[in-house]
Structure 1
Amino acid sequence: MANPSSPEAPIPVAKVSALIGGWIDRLGAVWVEGQITQLSRRPGMQFLTLRDPDHDVSLSVTCFRSVLEPLADTLREGSRVLVHAKPEWYVARGTLSLRATEIRLVGLGELLARLELLKRRLAEEGLFAAERKRALPFLPHCVGLVTGRASAAERDVLENARRRWPAVRFEVRNVPVQGNQSAERVIAAVRELDAAPEVDVIIVARGGGSVEDLLPFSDEALCRAVAAARTPVVSAIGHEPDQPLLDLVADLRASTPTDAAKRVVPDVGEETARVRQLRDRARRTVVGLVERERAGLAGVRSRPVLAAPERLLAEREQELTALTARSRRCLGHQLDRAESDLGHTLARVVALSPAATLERGYAVLQRADGAVVTDPAQVAAGERLRARVASGSLTVTAED
């Protein structure tokens, strides 16, 4: 509805801005396609500029962080996007912007966004965790190979592997490596080789290509089949910059099919040289140990105690002889002293012996009962007594 105005009765700027805002509020949400020329990420509200490169027209777009979060790793300046937004008029500044409620990448960008979401989900489930990855066998007797028929990847793997270790065997499963049926056929081949007990490791190989060409190797079902395999799986898809999701799930990522052959099969020449080096190192170590022990033994043998061991015995013999002589002298002195003491004691005993007294002419009178007479009053007249002298005894009679 038109608002009457005249030079005499103009409409204030605030009212004009409010009227424009009211008109814009009646507009509904629309889908807008454009190219991002400016992107400002903030903790709360996100700001970006959407440009139409064909007509050089730009619009400001605002959205909450939750709208931009799913595309945070793939959305950047220059990306083409589809935005579902409602026009908004900022009355205070008189500016127009779009409030976005959904943002989608266009073409390849949308494909990359879906892959990024799948990558996050698989990572949250732990399919990319390093602790679940299995180590490759040192020398596989049989290698399973899943690749395209008569492809350069197949030729690179087989030729390089057999050049490094001629005795290695291969179980090859040729499958389509591009197209709608590729992922399903690769899954079937991986499961078949995983069930074969003679297969020690599986290589999934393909040459380089565009993102769309390598898309089957980012298939969710294939990633889960490789994660569930009991046999170690090596991913050799594309060239060094290419990285489908299979590279993250596999137990080992090889940059190229040739690199996969070098990682899986050891080089017989290198291993022979390594064995030779280890053998020489072991020999040097043993020889060095023997030489050190020999030098130590020679040093011990050069000591006087081992150089002339009889000297030690001679010294002990001299000590033993000296101790023996000393003990004999001590024993002789003790015997001499004991003999002297015994002689002195014998002389005193002899001197004090009653027999010695008798030999000097004395006699001992004894009554018939053997009692010694010490007093004449003890003897009656006419009593017979025994008189002991030095050479014997005689019988006497007391007369008075």
Structure 2
Amino acid sequence: MTAPTAEEPWPVRTVARKIADWINRLGTVWVEGQVTQISARPGTGTAFLTLRDPAADVSMTVTCSTALLRQHEPPLVDGTRVIVHAKPTFFLNRGTLSLRADEIRAVGIGELLARIERLRKLLGAEGLFDPRRKRRPPFLPTRIGLITGRASAAEHDVLANATARWPAVRFRVENVAVQGALAVPQILDALSILDKDAEVDVIVIARGGGSVEDLLPFSDEELCRAVAACRTPVLSAIGHEPDTPLLDHVADVRCSTPTDAGKRVVPDVVEESARVRQLRDRARRALHGWVDREYRLLASLRSRPVLADPLTPLDRRADEVSALAERGRRALLGGLAAEQSTLSNTRARLTTLGPAATLARGYAVVQHTDADGTPRVLRSIEDAPEGARLRIRLADGALHAVATGDRESAGEGS
């Protein structure tokens, strides 16, 4: 058959038949997923169910015989993980694709646990469980985001216990499916909404206890990575104390139960009030102790003689100052007297050695005037030519004379 063109297009039946022929050549496949929407009407030989991928929003219709569905042990319910051996089938009349199953196996608990363990090792190797990356929730959050089932016991436990501990606490509750095929997408959407809310300071993911299959959504890889990427601290409160889904290891704080989450997400107003009173009492006692200690120190200082009678030491010091001043005055006067006596003795010696004393014994000092008018002491007869004007200084005055021509040497007069 030639390829279709705009002038010669294929009819719908031809396209459908070609698609069916191509799909029929695929053969049988093994498919794993979660069972949802099981429909097996009485009196019909065909049962319908939907097989959903738990990690993505992808599903396919599966048909099988009613006998195959009814003989399965344990009975299939929504959320059961199964492995289906089926052949892809394309229905020409409706133009739909489905899987025709001839064998359905439930995934055992051991295999589920093994897969969870492999995922645990993978996430642990990537550092998602590292305690250093975990954040401490705020002491008193402005608003708490709560992700839980609608009207569930977990929601009641968290709200009741948190309100009992801190009546003014505020919540933003996002109700989601907590098991089954829709759990992971709804939890992811709620987590994204709460993480973007600026008023939400901490997020609590809570669910009551259940079987391993019921708690499988909380070990989902996509959910674990989303919690690790949150900017808001996340508290995990899944199941009971022995239940430890992977979410407990990724969350910033693991709470053993939803009740424990309600107690740990907010402080106890009674305990905090008692702690405030204790701190106030401690502060009061510390202040009183400090005041008493300082008062005793002041009393001790006031009891010392220097403060008890401050004038007597001042008077004593004043007497000492007066005595020292008198000693200084006497020492100064004695020094002046000694120096004055020394000066008088020196003056007497100078007077004895001076020319005035010599003149008083009958000697005279003869001076003559140079040509420039400067008087000079006459030391030789040669210095006084005839007619030279002389000044003769005696003890009681001075005389003026004129040199004559008569000369006598020092030897002639003796």
TM-score tier after normalising by the smaller chain length: 0.5 to 0.7
Residue deviations 1:116-141 (CA, integer Å, cap 9, x gap) = 11111111111111111111111112
CA distance in 2, matches of 1:128, 1:201: 19
The answer to whether the Cα contact below 8 Å between 1:363 and 1:387 also exists between their aligned partners in 2 is no
Q: What residue in structure 1 maps to residue 179 of structure 2?
A: 178
C-alpha change, 1:308 and 1:179, in structure 2 (3 Å) is same
How far off its partner does 1:205 sit? 0.9
Residue aligned with 2:203, SS: strand
1:144 maps onto 2:145 in alignment: yes
Q: What residue in structure 2 maps to residue 319 of structure 1?
A: 320
Q: What residue in structure 2 maps to residue 328 of structure 1?
A: 329
CA distance in 1, matches of 2:199, 2:397: 129
How far off its partner does 1:340 sit? 3.2
C-alpha change, 1:349 and 1:107, in structure 2 (3 Å) is closer
How far off its partner does 1:148 sit? 1.1
CA distance in 2, matches of 1:151, 1:282: 46
How far off its partner does 1:223 sit? 1.2
CA distance in 1, matches of 2:203, 2:365: 138
CA distance in 1, matches of 2:146, 2:271: 24
The answer to whether the Cα contact below 8 Å between 1:142 and 1:168 also exists between their aligned partners in 2 is yes
Q: What residue in structure 2 maps to residue 159 of structure 1?
A: 160
The answer to whether the Cα contact below 8 Å between 1:208 and 1:238 also exists between their aligned partners in 2 is yes
How far off its partner does 1:236 sit? 0.8
How far off its partner does 1:300 sit? 3.6
CA distance in 1, matches of 2:344, 2:153: 128
CA distance in 2, matches of 1:213, 1:365: 147
Between 235-244 and 316-325, the greater mean CA deviation after superposition: 316-325
CA distance in 1, matches of 2:379, 2:176: 152
Q: What residue in structure 2 maps to residue 133 of structure 1?
A: 134
Q: What residue in structure 1 maps to residue 62 of structure 2?
A: none
The answer to whether the Cα contact below 8 Å between 2:136 and 2:233 also exists between their aligned partners in 1 is yes
Q: What residue in structure 1 maps to residue 243 of structure 2?
A: 242
How far off its partner does 1:261 sit? 0.8
CA distance in 1, matches of 2:379, 2:113: 153
Q: What residue in structure 2 maps to residue 253 of structure 1?
A: 254
Q: What residue in structure 1 maps to residue 226 of structure 2?
A: 225
Letter in 2 for 1:155: H
C-alpha change, 1:212 and 1:323, in structure 2 (3 Å) is same
Residue deviations 1:279-325 (CA, integer Å, cap 9, x gap) = 22222223322332333343344344444444444444333323322
Q: CA RMSD in A?
A: 3.8
C-alpha change, 1:384 and 1:112, in structure 2 (3 Å) is closer
The answer to whether the Cα contact below 8 Å between 1:144 and 1:202 also exists between their aligned partners in 2 is yes
Please list, as runs of the form range in 1=range in 2, the aligned pairs for 1:353-392 lying within 5 A after superposition. 362=362, 364=364
Letter in 2 for 1:162: T
CA distance in 2, matches of 1:224, 1:367: 131
CA distance in 1, matches of 2:254, 2:152: 20
Percent sequence identity over aligned pairs: 59
Residue deviations 1:126-185 (CA, integer Å, cap 9, x gap) = 111111111111111211111111111111111111222222221111112122222222
Extract unaligned runs of 5+ from structure 2: 1-105, 370-374, 407-414
The answer to whether the Cα contact below 8 Å between 2:368 and 2:378 also exists between their aligned partners in 1 is no
Please list, as runs of the form range in 1=range in 2, the aligned pairs for 1:111-122 lying within 5 A after superposition. 111-122=112-123
The answer to whether the Cα contact below 8 Å between 2:368 and 2:377 also exists between their aligned partners in 1 is no
Residue deviations 1:22-71 (CA, integer Å, cap 9, x gap) = xxxxxxxxxxxxxxxxxxxxxxxxxxxxxxxxxxxxxxxxxxxxxxxxxx
The answer to whether the Cα contact below 8 Å between 1:146 and 1:189 also exists between their aligned partners in 2 is yes
How far off its partner does 1:266 sit? 1.6
CA distance in 1, matches of 2:300, 2:257: 61
Please list, as runs of the form range in 1=range in 2, the aligned pairs for 1:1-400 lying within 5 A after superposition. 107-348=108-349, 362=362, 364=364
TM-score (norm 1): 0.62
C-alpha change, 1:150 and 1:311, in structure 2 (3 Å) is same
Extract unaligned runs of 5+ from structure 1: 1-104
The answer to whether the Cα contact below 8 Å between 1:134 and 1:232 also exists between their aligned partners in 2 is yes
CA distance in 1, matches of 2:390, 2:221: 150
How far off its partner does 1:349 sit? 5.4
Q: What residue in structure 1 maps to residue 15 of structure 2?
A: none
CA distance in 2, matches of 1:231, 1:280: 36
The answer to whether the Cα contact below 8 Å between 2:208 and 2:240 also exists between their aligned partners in 1 is yes
CA distance in 2, matches of 1:108, 1:213: 11
CA distance in 1, matches of 2:167, 2:365: 137
CA distance in 2, matches of 1:286, 1:113: 63
Letter in 1 for 2:121: R
Between 191-200 and 302-311, the greater mean CA deviation after superposition: 302-311
CA distance in 1, matches of 2:339, 2:225: 111
C-alpha change, 1:317 and 1:180, in structure 2 (3 Å) is same
Letter in 2 for 1:166: P
How far off its partner does 1:262 sit? 0.8
CA distance in 1, matches of 2:378, 2:396: 19
Letter in 2 for 1:299: S
CA distance in 2, matches of 1:365, 1:186: 138
Letter in 2 for 1:213: D
C-alpha change, 1:318 and 1:114, in structure 2 (3 Å) is same
Q: What residue in structure 1 maps to residue 17 of structure 2?
A: none
